Structure 1
């Protein structure tokens, strides 16, 4: 089994270029997450990356309204924060025991941020006309993990209802559909 820090490092290596590739002119564009435009989704993803550093260290977090971090050199800061996320989950013991207010297994909490980093990178890539494909090792890890947490995630309104996919849909298409996304979503006018 791969360490969570290694999986997060792999996922971040795919996500950071997507955020670096977002032009300021597309910050108001819609995303596959109907409740978020590009700017709001960047803010949400920053909040997730920072809060899950604290969760790895068993520190309290606040998931209220995400602050607007899309100022100054936010792209470089995102790269720095994902580096801190990887480091937080590399600390010995980070994957052991429980974490967070719900006292979930720490590895499950790691799967949450791994899923967010991967799925939201796809959301942002789709919204801004970029290509994105997760690394196979990350996909192998989040597929079963997100399937296991889907009922709880739907109840909490974190996932939408599953989107139908045809027979023969690929593994990432199935993961996206599981979270309530249309794997074939395109930005209006794209």
Structure 2
């Protein structure tokens, strides 16, 4: 049985919430596999993605031109709440049909973009804080389909870097990471040298 986008988002959200819940204040300045982001920056970006993609599911306009600071109060609980809202938004009847919000893209692609960010940035944050990330295997086919469709555009927009070689025995998720330009072997120790 093929899982719906909301079911895939639910799987990815569980893992992302676990990763975010384990981030401490001491982690905030650590580098991440996203060269332009420290942990704090990437958390704010991921919050923005989760909130904005709720609006896109509802066909509302979004603004990615600036990134609000969401890391105040009980921000870990807030992140869990926002991921629940993301899943609910994409569970609405017809959310994955037509064109989503002001992005001008098919809603199904936009939903998989949210899934990709939630999955890959959770890996980025886990890796930055020296933890393992168990990527939900059921999300990988949908993410590969998105990368097949959007990789050239994503590279032009500097969302993906050039692909890196994956090991012959790489897992399906590590192969996906490599296709987005991430080094599956990235670790914080190497980044601080």
Q: Pick the TM interval, shorter chain.
A: over 0.9
Q: Aligned partners of 2:121, 2:161: CA distance in 1, in Å?
A: 14
2:96 maps to 95
TM-score by length of 1: 0.96
Q: Runs (4+) of structure 1 moved beyond 2 Å? A: none
TM-score by length of 2: 0.95
1:147 counterpart = 2:148: yes
1:58 maps to 59
Q: Following TM superposition, by how much is the alpha carbon of 1:166 offset from its aligned partner in structure 2, in angstroms?
A: 2.4
SS of residue matched to 2:186:
coil
SS of residue matched to 1:122:
helix
Residue deviations 1:28-71 (CA, integer Å, cap 9, x gap): 00000000000000000000000000000000000012111111
2:169 maps to 168
Give the number of equivalent residue pairs: 190
SS of residue matched to 1:71:
coil
Q: Aligned partners of 2:83, 2:103: CA distance in 1, in Å?
A: 24
2:12 maps to 11
Q: Output the aligned Cα RMSD.
A: 1.3
Q: Following TM superposition, by how much is the alpha carbon of 1:174 offset from its aligned partner in structure 2, in angstroms?
A: 1.1
Residue deviations 1:121-172 (CA, integer Å, cap 9, x gap): 0000000111102111111221222232111100111101111112232211
Q: Aligned partners of 1:43, 1:101: CA distance in 2, in Å?
A: 21
Q: Following TM superposition, by how much is the alpha carbon of 1:100 offset from its aligned partner in structure 2, in angstroms?
A: 3.5
Gaps of at least 5 residues in structure 2 are none
1:82 counterpart = 2:83: yes
Q: Aligned partners of 1:61, 1:13: CA distance in 2, in Å?
A: 24
Query: 1:179–1:108: structure 2 CA closer, same or farther, 3 Å change rule?
Result: same
